[in-house]
Structure 1
Amino acid sequence: MANLAGVSIKTVSRALNDAPHVSAEARERVKAAAATLDYHPNIAAQSLIARRSFLIGLTYERPSPSYVVELQNGALARLEESRYRLVVLPFRNVADRPAELGRLLMRAGLDGVVLAPPACDQDELLAMLDKHRLPYARITPHSAMDRGIVLAMDEVAAGQTVAAHLLELGHTRIGIVLGDPSHAASAARLEGYRRAFAEAKVVIDDRLIVTGDFTYDVGYKVAERLLCQTPQPTAILAQNDDMAVAAMAAVRDCGLSVPHDISIAGFDDSEVARTAWPQLTTVRQPVMQMSWDATDRLIGWLDADRKDGNEGEMAFARRGNHPHELVVRASTAPPKV
């Protein structure tokens, strides 16, 4: 292969292992030669030689299926054609047992891990990873923003944006379906709602605030509670799209329609928001891009050329900020006169 590519054996090894100090031209020649010879590197052998597993973990907790798919697709897209492989590690009730998750991650033989909410905000877990020197990237954390690699989105501002949309349409009696309290995003989005109400000089009726858990089934049950209020809300803000779609179903089961009788807005802009009828007004959170970015920066950390005295330093930005976007669709309209 070295002869075919016109480079040294050492350069072949560096190019196939995505190591630094190889020119783009030489790297392309080596990969072209490998394709011609139908050569495929043995990842297990590479792991033994480098004393690394080339495994990247991704851990999350029971969010909506669409959210999980976007998380996984983002990481997988970045790892395509790389020497790293993805290990998916779903884990329930992270806030109640962060140390147990930490032990699971330690046993998994990972080179690094991407932490989705709520794992990204667990101090005990982060301390364990720091102690054992396992690199990590965090997607939308809300605390300790100086730890690890951070991919952030301003969820307070995003919550304010979607609440302001309903208020600008003329709604003042708005039901709010919160997410799982163990996810810091729930409190952040509620803070954004409160800011929008304060700016519009509208008082939030706390009796119209109910707690869900980001799932369809619980979202349906708590939406039913909102619809039993007298008078009923004219709009419902749900903290993710699954609960918003559940609220739409509850409205229809009460013999009402969306948005003629009740407007509904969600959060995430997941696939279900686009396939629901009517299509759902929501906040677009770039989950797939954040997952891609988190994985990319984590690999950059792992593959950095570390020199004596600089171990652990990163030659790239530790933080990336991603924008949100309000997507207005047919599920919201002015209240009935």
Structure 2
Amino acid sequence: MARPNQPPRGATIVDVAARAGVSSMTVSRVINGRSGVSAATRDAVEEAIRELAYTPNVAARSLVTSTELRIGVIYSNASNAFMSEFLTGVFEEASARGARLSLLKGEGGRPPPAAAIEEMAASGISGVLLAPPLGEAPEVQRVLREAGCIRAAVGAYQSPETICVRIDDRAAAYQMTRHLLELGHRRLGFVLGNPDQAASAERMAGFYAAVRETGGVDVQVAQGDFTYVSGLAAAEQLLSSASRPTAIFASNDDMAAAVVSVAHRRHLDVPGELAVAGFDDTTAAITLWPPLTTVHQPVRALAAEALGLLIAEIAVRGGKSRVPRESILDHGIVERQSTAPLSADPS
């Protein structure tokens, strides 16, 4: 029978933190005997542990003194196709390197709650890998910074605190836009990505850089957020124009697939009456008709590279790190059947 005032069995580190009035990070420091905790705070945490009959996870505790690698992977990406590629790259690299993975997913495209991230950070993980867009999420970065977590991010831009692995989004978008212009298109639509992500701004900058080099180009822009649904709305906006584009470049494959869907619904031939291009080269690019011309972003390789650099940084923790803070992988333009030269009569 439980003693009076004793909570049910199975108290977590979050329960201990709440009882002691401190963060989960502080509880973790006390449990693992780390410095940076005052005597009064340490006493409060230890008292809460006794009151709650909390037993730290033995496997998590062993990570403090063993060479076992346990990597936290935090993700919340609206594109299922992108995440499938990302996680495949992570799983393959983790298997090759003997690392265990702990996954934490945010819902609805939003980051996981801060408390969930704190609990993961306090569980004994060696480092954290962030899928886009979480490498640029201020609250996620704040929690991990306060926890002292080593971290790497895919798709994020240079940060002194985080290893960033990406492609050159601006150059990739420039090259795709040049491809459309070289096909003769002069009425271009562009679907923007999530405005909270640096990659979106870089892709837009690349698009406009190509346009500025060519005279007589009419540009129409619609806002998206990298989701298929946002691509539908953007396509409706662009294709409802009195002078509709003859080519639309969407900032990812999911939104490009949505553009193709709306074009079909409006009985527009792709690419005869409308050329469509995407970005990522995920499975979404080859599972619709016609298959998408797109920017090849090596998502699996990006994920594997980020995990490899994270593990290298973990290995030298406490010493002078020589691990690159930023790694930029190659991209390419993949031409498929969704783009074609401008017809003689673009109306």
TM-score (norm 2): 0.75
- Asked if 1:164 corresponds to 2:155, the answer is no
Change (3 A) 1:230 1:148: same
SS of the residue corresponding to residue 276 of structure 2 reads strand
* Correspondence for 1:323: 330
SS of the residue corresponding to residue 156 of structure 2 reads coil
Whole-angstrom CA distance in 2 between matches of 1:50 and 1:59: 24
Look up the equivalent residue of 1:264 and give its one-letter code. V
Contact 2:122 2:147 in 1 (8 A): no
Structure 1's unaligned 5+ residue stretches are 1-42
Deviation at residue 130 of structure 1 after TM alignment: 3.0
* Correspondence for 2:25: none
Whole-angstrom CA distance in 2 between matches of 1:200 and 1:134: 47
* Correspondence for 1:149: 163
> What is the root-mean-square deviation in Å for CA atoms of aligned residues?
2.6
Where does structure 1 differ by over 4 angstroms across 4 or more consecutive aligned residues? 92-102
Look up the equivalent residue of 1:191 and give its one-letter code. A
Contact 1:241 1:268 in 2 (8 A): yes
Whole-angstrom CA distance in 2 between matches of 1:101 and 1:238: 34
Whole-angstrom CA distance in 2 between matches of 1:94 and 1:127: 19
Contact 2:61 2:124 in 1 (8 A): no
Whole-angstrom CA distance in 2 between matches of 1:167 and 1:325: 17
Deviation at residue 84 of structure 1 after TM alignment: 2.0
Q: 2:192 aligned to 170, 178, 182, which one?
A: 178
TM-score (norm 1): 0.77
Whole-angstrom CA distance in 2 between matches of 1:142 and 1:245: 26
Please list the CA deviations of residues 248-294 of structure 1 after superposition, one character each: whole Å capped at 9, or x if unmatched: 11101101110001000000000111222111100001111010011
Contact 1:94 1:101 in 2 (8 A): no
Change (3 A) 1:170 1:276: same
SS of the residue corresponding to residue 302 of structure 1 reads helix
Deviation at residue 226 of structure 1 after TM alignment: 1.2
Please list the CA deviations of residues 102-121 of structure 1 after superposition, one character each: whole Å capped at 9, or x if unmatched: 53543454221111222212
Deviation at residue 222 of structure 1 after TM alignment: 1.9
SS of the residue corresponding to residue 279 of structure 2 reads coil
Q: 1:287 aligned to 299, 317, 323, which one?
A: 299
- Asked if 1:298 corresponds to 2:305, the answer is no
Please list the CA deviations of residues 163-215 of structure 1 after superposition, one character each: whole Å capped at 9, or x if unmatched: 1111111111111111221222111100110000011234453xx21112211
* Correspondence for 1:57: 72
Whole-angstrom CA distance in 1 between matches of 2:216 and 2:152: 39
Contact 1:95 1:182 in 2 (8 A): no
Whole-angstrom CA distance in 2 between matches of 1:84 and 1:230: 56
- Asked if 1:336 corresponds to 2:343, the answer is yes
- Asked if 1:68 corresponds to 2:79, the answer is no
Counterparts of 1:228-307 in structure 2 under 5 Å?
228-304=240-316
Deviation at residue 62 of structure 1 after TM alignment: 2.6
Look up the equivalent residue of 1:167 and give its one-letter code. L
Contact 1:94 1:119 in 2 (8 A): no
Contact 1:64 1:215 in 2 (8 A): yes
% identical aligned pairs: 36
Deviation at residue 131 of structure 1 after TM alignment: 3.3
Deviation at residue 223 of structure 1 after TM alignment: 0.6
Change (3 A) 1:168 1:316: same
Contact 1:52 1:111 in 2 (8 A): no
Contact 1:98 1:124 in 2 (8 A): no
